[in-house]
Every structure is written in C-alpha cells, then in structure tokens.
A and B are shown apart, each in its own frame.
Chain A
Amino acid sequence: MNYRHVAIRVLQTVPVLFGVSVVVFIIIHSAPGDPVVNLLGIQATEENVAQLREAYGLNEPLYVQYLHWISGVLQGDLGQSITRERSVSALILSRLPATLFLAVASMVVATVIAIPAGVVSAVRKGSVSDHTVTVGALTGISVPNFWLGLILILVFARTFELLPPGNYVSPAANPVESLKHVLLPAITVGTAYAALLARQTRSSMLDNINREYVKMAKSKGLSSRKVFVRHALKQALLPVITVAGLQFGYLLSATVVVEQIFAWPGMGRLIWSAVRQQDYPTVQGTVLVIAALFVFINLLVDMAYAYLDPRVSVS
C-alpha cells in the first residue's frame, strides 16, 4: 500500500460521514415528540416550553439548525446536551472507553474461538468436529443476545457465582478485576460475531484448500500443517477480515442492548437514554462518533488487506 492509496481511502470517508450526519439529523428530528416537553414534563406551561425551545434554537428552520450543528461539529464542538448539564463531547469521552473495551474484548473472544474452529471444520470437513462447529455456529447466530446475556448472568453470576454480572471496571485501574467483569458481556456480544466469523472462515478455507496452489504446496512435500497454515489460511483470512470489519457495526449495535443488561456505562446506554429523552445533540453526536468509528475500523481493514495481500497495492 502506498501513501496515495491511503490518501484516497481517507478522503473517501468524508462524504460518508457527511451523509451520516444528514441522515441522523433528519431521522431524530422527524421522530414524534419534543425534547423540551420531555424535559419539563407534561405540566409545563406553554410559556416555559416556548422559552426553552428558543434557548435551544429549536424554533429555527431545520436546515438552519443543521448548519448550526454541523459548523460546530467541524470546529470540534458537538454541542450541549439538552437533558444533562454537560457538553456532548464530555459525555461521549466519559462513555467511549467502556464501550471500546467491551467491543475489543468481544472481538478477541470471538476471534480466538472462531478462526481455529473454522479452520478445523474446513480441514476435517464432514467429521464430528466439523458438524459441531457448523451446528454451534448456527446456534450462535440464532440466539438473541439479550436472552443469552440473561442466561449467562443467571448461570455464572447467580447460580454458581463464578463471575460478576457485568459492571464496568476500568482496565487501567484494575486489569485482572476488569477482565473478570468484561467476560460475560463480551461473550454475550461476541457469540453471534464468532458464529459469523467461524462460518466465513470455514467456507473461505474450503474454497482455498482445493485450489491449485494448495496442491502445489503439497506436491513440494510440505507437512499438512504448513500447507494449511502458511499457504491456505493467510489467503483464506482475507474475506474473513472484510466480514469482521463490516460486522463491527453489528458489534457496536449489540452493545446498546447488552450494556443495558450488564449495567455497562458505555455509549450504548448513552444512546439509549438520549433517544428516549429525544436529546437531539447527544443522539446526533454519539451516532456520528460511532459512524466515524465504524468507518475508521473499515479503513484499518483495508490497510490490513494491503499487509496480508500484496496484490492490493497495485490494483
């Protein structure tokens, strides 16, 4: 990958993020209800409501509100929360680490299980381990994460009391404790993700182990392990990484529900409450940050591609 390629990819993210900002703005503003009424309660006088609307600029035409908001965003100011006495940036900064920690932990859990499972399943196609992985993956995709989360809490936290039922502990403060706390929510979020990755790894490996170059590697007298790991797997991982990047969006959306279950003080819970209160600036800011995160992850995936697949730099 050369700098030119990187520059092109970075510039391409600009219109994407701009599109996201417009869409989220329109959607949240066209939802029924009013943040001021939510804030003041139904007994509030019309006068008070009008005053507060004026104060937050909610009486302006929509495009003026948008321009006002987006010009702030471009200067690094995401605005003030309507329902909380803080800036949206501060809210996000206080919540982002917990969500990122959960997302990364889920990813690690998922990858550690999924890739080896997918490889074994493909190499021993038709064997008991293959069937176990296939059935397991189907189950993993089918199980709703909120249900899985509740069951995990019930079994591991309540009945056997092996692990705490969530509750974020900062990894900087206490690494060991923090890992214990993240395990159950990470499994909850990561299961479906792992299932997807395992299936993708399996089909991608199957696709590759019948290719000529794998036969060629065998014809050189290499051991099966070398043939599969060095030749087939590196190539087979390319589509897996694409899927992993795209499904990172799933991971982030899963945190919205799972953070509720495990009382996890992350972005998911922030969005959840902001949407309920129709806290426009907070919803807009958090969604924009999450979209940027998603775009950034996929940018990383592209770069990883160039590292794993030397052909990318020329195409």
Chain B
Amino acid sequence: MSDHSLLSVEGLTTEFATQHGRITAVKDVSFDLEPGERLGIVGESGSGKSVTARSVMGLLDENGRVASGSVTLGGRELTDMSESELGDVRGSEIAMIFQDPMSSLTPVLTVGTQIVETILEHRDVSETDARERAIELLDRVRIPDPESVVDAYPHELSGGQRQRVLIAIAISTDPDILVADEPTTALDVTIQAQILDLLVELVDDRGMGLIQITHDLGVVAETCDNVAVMYAGRIVERGPVSEVFVTPRHPYTAGLLRSTPRIADVEPDLLAGTVPDPGERPTGCNFASRCSHATDDCRTGDPPLERAGNHEAACVRTAQLGPLEPVPNVQRHESDHSASTSTLIDSNDVRKEFSSADSLLDRLLPGGDPPVKAVDGVDVSLAEGETLGLVGESGSGKTTLGRLLLELTDRSDGEIRFDGRPLTEVPEDELRSRIQFVFQDPNSSLNPRQTVGTILQYAVQKHDEGVDVDSRVRELLREVGLDPETRHDYPHQLSGGQKQRVGVARALAVDPDVIVADEPTSALDVSVQGQLLELLEEIKLERGLSMLFISHDLSVIRHISDRVAVMYLGRLVEVAATEELFESPRHPYTEALLSAVPDPDPRVDSERIILEGEIPDPKRPPDGCNFVTRCPEAMPECEHDDPKLVGDGEDSVACLLHNDATRADDRRRPKADRE
C-alpha cells in the first residue's frame, strides 16, 4: 500500500458477538483513499459495506469490534485510539454522512445547534462566529433562506433539506475525508440527483476524499472514480469504475450489473439465489453457490484479490473467463398485451382529501390547516390482463390512489367503476375476493405471531370454505416459489424476499382478478427484487391477472408495466404505453424523472435535467399547473392555467406545451355538455 494515501485500510476484519457466537461481518478488507479520490463501495445488504464504513469511523455497535487489520489516517492508527482521541479525529479530519436524514438528526435540537456544536468542538471560534459559519454552510449546500432554517428543527424540513443539513455538518470543519453511507437511498430520484450533484461539487471544490457506500450501481457510476465491490464481507473486485463496470472480471460484479433493472432497453438477467448470512458463509469462494462459472476449485479456499487486467478481482478463474459482459444482450420482449380487451377498473375525477383536524374540538375551533389534497381529480383505467405502472415521488399520492381503487380508503369525490358497476354497488365480499393488495413492507403486513400457514389459511378459507385448506396452502407456496414446508415458519424466520413472496401468496389465495402492488420490491436487494418481479410477471401471465404496480423506481416500472401513469402532486401528468413513455417522454416532469435515474453504465453520458426545489406542500398546491414551480420549461400561462390530461389515442399528457385544454374548461361548460 502506498505511503502517500490519505486513508489506508489494511486487512480489516470486523466481528460481532451474537447469541449464536461470534460472526465475522467483514473479512480481510483492504483499500486506500488518495486525496481528492472518490471511491464507491458497493454491495447488497449483508455485504459488509456499512460495517466497513463504521469500522473506519470507530462507530460500531456495542457488540462489534475490529478483530484484526489496521485503519491509518495520515499515518496514525485509528483502531487502537481511545474514544476521546477518536473524538479529535472524527468530525474534523474524517466526517460521515448517514443514510437516513430522518433519524440521523437529533429531533429536539435546532439545525443551527447541531452545526454550531460541531464547529465549536473542533475550532477555536466564538459562538457568534460559529453561527455565522453555520448560515454560510446552509447557503453553501443550497438551502433556501438559511437565516431562518438555522433556527428550525429537523422535522420542519423536508427529507432533501435534512440530507443537505447532514452534508453541511459533515463539511463544517473541512475534513479531509467524507464517508457517505447511502446518502440518497431514502430520497426521491429528483432530489437524489440534486444531492449527488452537490456532493460531487463539494468534494471536488475542497479536494476531499469521498467514500460513497451504496447498493446502487448507478450512483457509483455517476459519482465515483474507483469502486470496490463487496460480497458477503469481502471485496471481490476493485478498480476504476470505467473498468469494473465495463469489463467486470468477477462473476458477481457481472451478475449484479446484469440483474440491475435499467432504464435502457434491455431485459435484466437475474442472479439466482441470495447472499449467504454472515454466520453461514461457505468455505471457498462465497459466491460459488450462485456462480454459473463455478468449478470444484472454487470451493476449496477463499480466493485472494489479484490483478486481473487493469484492475483486481478475487476469483480463481479470472484468467480462463476473461472480461465478462456487464449488460445483458437480451432485448426487452415487447408486451403482447392488446389494447382491445375490456376495461376492468375505471376511475373518473377521483379525489381524496385528508383533513389534518383529528378531533371534534379541533374541527370546532377556528384556525386549523387546510386539508391535504392527496389525490386531486384522477382519471385512470385498468384493462383486463394489463399491468399499469403508477410512478411518482413520495407525496405524489400514488399509494392513496391505489388504496382508493380498492376502497381501502374512502374517497372524497369522484366515481370508480369496477367491471362496469360503480364501486359502491359491488358487495364488499366480491370486491375483496377480486382485488387484492400486496403491501410495501412485508415486515409489518404479516402478523408476526402467526405462522405462514395460518396467515394463508385465513385467506383460503375466506374465499372458499369447501377446499382442502392444507393442500391449497402448499400449492400456493409452490406457486410463489417457496418450499411448502415454509408454512410452519413464522415471518421473522424468513428473508425479506421470502416474506414478500408470502405476501403475494396471500393475495393469490382468493384467486383475484386484480392485484394492486404497492412498492412490493422497494425493501429488497437488487437480485431478490429481480426474482420477485419475475415471479409477479409469471403469475400475472399464467392467471391472466390485471395489475396496478405502484413504484417510485422507474427501472422497475419499465421492467414490469404495459402502460405507465406518471403522478405528481395528486394528479396524473402523463399516461402512455411503456415503450412510448420511456423512448419519448412528453411531459417535462417525466423527462426530468427519466434523466435523473443514475445509469450503471459509465459510458452512458446522459444529459441530466436536475429539477430545482422540491414537491410543493399538498395543502397549498400552486395556482395553475402543479408542476410550474419546478418546471424547466414553464411558460407565463402555466402560472394560472391548469392543464388537463388530454389523450390522443392511447397516450395522454397534461401540459400546456402539448395541448391548451385546461381543467377550468370543464367547469365553465354547463353540466349538460359534459355528459
């Protein structure tokens, strides 16, 4: 390792004491960071990437310890420093940005206090000067109105702003190294683009070294020079991003790249199996059991990280395999769904307002908040056998819309027709057995005190009392790709992917016609996510189901949908066939959304449209077009004319650039005309 490195990690091994004995989370990890270098550490959950970062910072949980190896910063060893010695290094020489800005700021202290205390800890300045500096920093991370934000509490800020505050704290003392642990994972894609842009700019400006920990290959491709790919506690491949992501030498790296859903027109090529748990790693190469190139040699010893081409890989077969292909060459199969089938669900001007008043007294007293317009006049339809992707950022109202269609939430206004009848006339029992919901978080949607068998049994019995419950449960589990013996397990004994499969099985138990899936894969790792998407697609084709697939992830939406509806601030801004929408988006928001998704292919140098600002408060949406405050192409008339979703054929868009119909037209016309 070079002597000039800013940070040098050598043979780092980190262990955790658990009920099942000591578990090695990270094994023999080495890397260097030069001044100004941007290093990405990428891996799925359980790969040890976050543990690596926390070992470097000395921020392991109580039961964790660095068992061997060294971490040297500017020639000083960090692993054997006392807590107070570390205190001088942390924050001043090496700073960390945490994943979840929601939980990483102390909720009871103002933003200013939290920045100022960092400055005062490491710099000999007065409190007034520190506060001045805090305001400068907030301005530097592009927070509007820093003079008032400095006195705000974290909950008063949006997620994106909070992440900016975390960055402001991290750079407040000009550290040499910034460790960013999934800094944008909790954020929406347009906000993620803003934050990544800011991070890179700051790091370059100040010549800081950056360690970016992430599961998102696209983020690495967009922001890093070098990358270390981790799998099951080890670095399996390391080198410049332009090499590793273009000519990967380790089968895992290639597999990960190939299985990532992309905006580009390729079908992901799935990686089978799951990451072994830290306690159950095999002897030999950890990846051997999932590797299509594995031979008996792979199962004997841990392969070391060795030179492979212009970078390094830990695979015994590197020489034989040569460079691997990172992008699957399978073209996306075009959907064979024909548009002529009948409409199953049809909504007309559906609205949902949430009142913030929660009690009788609250409503009686004057001076409350206006209601939140979660869904503000949406027309959407779902045809038989079709998958409609509903995409939007948080706060767009996509989940509420999904719930309205199932009558899980009462709507405030508008009409929904199911199978030609108004929803109110469809008996509850029929509705529940024909439309089913797959929830986002399998951890909270499965009762932790019931076995998988019991959970499914209820659904089966509810649907059909005469059936042989046990054999039906086993059949369902097989259908979703689980071992029928899983029925004796409790949810906590299953992995995230398995739990979500149980969620799907529960939905299928009543033999529905429509499945509404709300972000079913957002809690899962890339390879598991791909497997679940494939399962949903198979089931859908086999049973001829219709599906409403709600997601914030455009790559996933592209992968699974026939048609896509884009939602922004309670309204649909564009609805089009998938191909059409991704090839030639028409609404400026759709365009920006597509360009904001980081692409894992470093060769793609797409022109990013970075949207300014954030989604406005749904209690006080702007006059005119809802998108006007952020639209790069806003025209004067957009300020007051509210565009209507107008279709030509299958595709419709709500934008004055394409059509000058406004929502007001409807209201001006006498009612008779509208019929």
Contact = CB atoms under 8 A, between A and B. Distances in A.
Interface of A: 4, 7-8, 11-12, 125, 210-213, 215-224, 226, 230-231, 234-235, 308-311, 314
A4 B365 contact: yes
Contact of B108 (A215, A217, A309, A314): A309
8 contacts: A215-B54, A219-B91, A220-B91, A223-B84, A226-B121, A230-B109, A234-B109, A311-B153
Contacts of A235: 106-108
A231 B87 contact: no
A212 B103 contact: yes
Contact of A216 (B84, B89, B105, B359): B105
B108 A219 contact: no
6 nearest interchain CB pairs?
A: A221-B91, A221-B90, A220-B91, A310-B153, A219-B96, A212-B103
A229 to B, nearest CB: 12
A177 B607 CA distance: 81
Contact of B365 (A8, A210, A217, A224): A8
B425 interface: no
B108 A8 contact: no
A308 B87 CA distance: 27
Given A211-B103, A212-B98, A221-B121, A308 B108 contact: yes
| Most chain A beta carbons < 10 A, residue from B90, B107, B156 | B107
A221 B92 contact: yes
Interface string B642-660: 0000000000000000000
A12 B358 CA distance: 13
Nearest to B102: A212
Contacts of A212: 98-100, 103-104
Interface in B293-317: none
Given A8-B362, A219-B59, A213 B105 contact: yes
B169 interface: yes
Contacts, number: 98
Contacts of A125: 62
B104 A314 contact: no
Contacts of A309: 107-108
B155 A314 contact: yes
Contacts of A311: 107, 153, 155
Contacts of A308: 108
Nearest to B152: A310
B117 A8 contact: no
A45 to B, nearest CB: 55
A213 B104 contact: yes
A230 B106 CA distance: 9
Interface of B: 54, 57, 59, 61-62, 83-84, 86-92, 95-96, 98-100, 103-109, 117-118, 121-122, 153, 155-156, 166, 169, 359, 361-362, 365, 367-368
B361 A217 contact: no
B95 A219 contact: yes
Contacts of B153: 310-311
Given A213-B103, A219-B59, A7 B365 contact: yes
Contacts of B361: 8, 11-12
B61 A222 contact: no
B117 A222 contact: yes
A221 B155 contact: no
Contact of B83 (A220, A224, A230): A224
A314 B619 CA distance: 14
Contacts of A226: 117, 121
A223 B156 CA distance: 27
Contacts of A218: 59, 90
A217 B106 contact: yes
A220 to B, nearest CB: 4
A220 B365 contact: no
A234 B84 CA distance: 22
A220 B118 contact: yes
A216 B84 CA distance: 16
Nearest to A211: B103
Contacts of B90: 218-221
Contacts of B362: 8
A28 B598 CA distance: 73
Contacts of A213: 103-107
Contacts of B95: 219-220
Contacts of B121: 220-223, 226
A225 to B, nearest CB: 10
Nearest to A2: B367
A11 B90 CA distance: 50
Contacts of B91: 219-222
Nearest to A208: B106
Contacts of B99: 212
A310 B121 CA distance: 25
A192 B156 CA distance: 39
Contacts of B62: 125, 210
Nearest to A223: B87
A213 B264 CA distance: 38
A220 B121 CA distance: 8
Given A12-B361, A310-B153, A219 B103 contact: no
Contacts of B59: 215, 218-219
A220 B97 CA distance: 10
Residue from the set A210, A216, A310 with the largest chain B CB neighbour count within 10 Å: A216
A311 B156 CA distance: 8
A230 to B, nearest CB: 7
A288 to B, nearest CB: 23
Nearest to A236: B108
Given A216-B105, A219-B59, 17 more contacts: A8-B362, A11-B361, A12-B361, A212-B98, A213-B106, A219-B90, A219-B95, A219-B96, A220-B90, A220-B118, A221-B87, A221-B92, A222-B117, A234-B108, A310-B156, A311-B153, A314-B156
A18 B314 CA distance: 75
A230 B107 CA distance: 11
Contacts of B368: 4
Nearest to A10: B361
Q: Which of A221, A226, A234 has most B Cβ within 10 Å?
A: A221
Contact of A221 (B89, B98, B105, B108): B89
B100 to A, nearest CB: 6
Contacts of A310: 107-108, 153, 155-156
Given A219-B96, A310-B153, A210 B61 contact: yes
A288 B593 CA distance: 62
A4 B358 CA distance: 13
